[in-house]
Chain A
């Protein structure tokens, strides 16, 4: 089992990890020949939010070499906090070098699997030059567990019905402000609903107040290649009333956790499966040439606990 790669885009990698770090203590990363998947399954975290991200190797790494007995795939799990700390340290040194001096191409970050004593580690080797032009290397070791083949088989994306509506979300940073403000008014969760007319609504209800925040003029993209849709015929959306709202009640905490991805997001598409779940595709970089997508699944919350 061998893995070694140069991290070309440390900052983006750090931001992706930052987006999922708040979800749960440990995350799973699956390295394959052409893509890297960061997975947080909802077993332990509150509210059942899950993340399945898919990032093209070429958008983060160069000199990517992987070899293993299971189809050249390696699945490891580690503390997301430790991974973020290591990446931040690497990102800081690469940007500091860029800004302070003329050494722009000096910092190199290499990631590899290694053994340290009897423990497997993912090590991040940061090589650069000090302002005095001396070579300097910092190595960060993150203790990992290699996930057994049988357990990898058990990792399955949640099954979802055909979404009722797809909608392009407004800027996540703005959405996040509103969702944060809704916190004291949202003890039962937030109703997340949208229609085929480009309208999105967030609604909360308590004994004291009913609040509904609405956006309009958003885009309803056609998602012909949506992997979760079995039925590729998009004409059936014409049969529905475009003004009809499709909603799902989700936990306020989960919504906020998803909105942590505002640091990396450019385009976000929400797919609502009425009274079932909401799926959020956060695109990294341009949609047309996406370097990757982080997929969040937020299950519906039911008023009377199941």
Chain B
């Protein structure tokens, strides 16, 4: 399941894998429209792998939190979300119409890392807020059945869906990546939350790591630098090329791209609840931030979710 949000010159995509849900049934044939698709043959392959619709994100948040136990403030400023559910794993291939179930998501480990605090509010043990979500296909609402406890009240929510609008296609070419960094989210979160909110521009600077085998000289340029320029001055933050800080750092030659800080700041909420961040920039300056989200641990399965932000650079660097 993929959720996509458009924000100006940046897009955000959340990847929620099917095994996050207790049950996930995807029935591609159920809602296949009888009339032939108006899409050209070329697009068809791509189109068949996904079911996409738009919903107002705040309505979804309000519905999930109807009993007040989900505990996440609905501070989303974006009006619309584009959701694209494509067949994961075995469901891949030919897909239209999605049906996903998540019942009684109450199994988060009590001793999870502190970074899980936010997600624990959704998956908290004992609270037992359960949700069953279904979508019957184009023209149908997204239906949510939310219950707090057995025997208690149940809420049936039907959220209006819209046909997806053509989305800003940002394709990140991983072959053309000029900077690749993986680091613990808290390192990036602390840096970005230091920056004054009035800041207009954020420059990300990458330098090739010093050749291995030699002790890092203090004169060597930092591998990763954030420079914020705002009304009240500028801030520069350097990350040392230390395995403790930058898990990986790949950079062929020095790069520097500038982004509108307000766009990057949109990623802060996702960053705050994530565990690890992968930051990549391609040769045209397109910034890709991938956040690994904590998820309830299940024995024997990996169930991380990802949120990805893409942001275009400002033109006059």
Contacts and interface: CB of A to CB of B under 8 A. Distances in A.
A217 B151 contact: yes
Contacts of A182: 66
A209 B160 contact: yes
Given A180-B68, A184-B58, A211 B63 contact: yes
Contacts of A180: 68
Interface in B140-161: 141, 151-160
A181 B153 contact: no
Contacts of A208: 55-56, 58-59, 159-160
Contacts of B56: 208-209
A185 B152 CA distance: 21
Contact of A170 (B153, B157, B158, B159): B153
A177 interface: yes
A181 B152 CA distance: 16
B67 A178 contact: yes
A279 to B, nearest CB: 22
Interface string A177-219: 1101110110000000000000000000011111111110100
Interface in B74-132: 74
A209 B66 contact: no
A213 B145 CA distance: 10
B50 to A, nearest CB: 23
A213 B63 contact: no
Q: What bracket does the count of chain A residues touching chain B fall in?
A: 20 to 34
Contacts of A181: 62, 65-68
Contacts, number: 62
B59 to A, nearest CB: 4
A212 B62 CA distance: 13
A202 B178 CA distance: 55
A165 to B, nearest CB: 18
Contact of A211 (B55, B58, B66, B151): B66
A182 B67 CA distance: 10
Contacts of B68: 177-178, 180-181
A182 B156 CA distance: 12
B156 A211 contact: yes
A215 B149 CA distance: 12
Contacts of B154: 213-214
A73 B125 CA distance: 57
Most buried by A among B55, B56, B153: B153
Interface string A217-253: 1000000000000000000000000000000000000
A180 B68 CA distance: 9
Contacts of B67: 177-178, 181
A182 B74 CA distance: 13
Contacts of B160: 207-209
A248 B44 CA distance: 49
Contact of A215 (B58, B62, B153): B153
B287 to A, nearest CB: 31
Interface in B260-298: none
Contacts of A212: 155-157
Contacts of A207: 160
Nearest to A170: B153
Given A182-B66, A184-B62, A185-B62, A210 B153 contact: no
A214 B156 contact: yes
A209 B157 contact: yes
Nearest to B74: A184
Nearest to B154: A214
Contacts of B152: 215
A178 B63 contact: no
B158 A209 contact: yes
6 contacts: A178-B68, A178-B155, A209-B56, A209-B158, A213-B155, A217-B151
Given A178-B66, A209-B63, 17 more contacts: A174-B153, A181-B68, A206-B59, A208-B58, A208-B59, A208-B159, A208-B160, A209-B62, A211-B66, A212-B155, A212-B156, A212-B157, A213-B155, A213-B156, A214-B154, A214-B155, A214-B156
Q: Which 5 A-B pairs have the closest CB atoms?
A: A209-B59, A208-B59, A210-B158, A177-B68, A213-B155
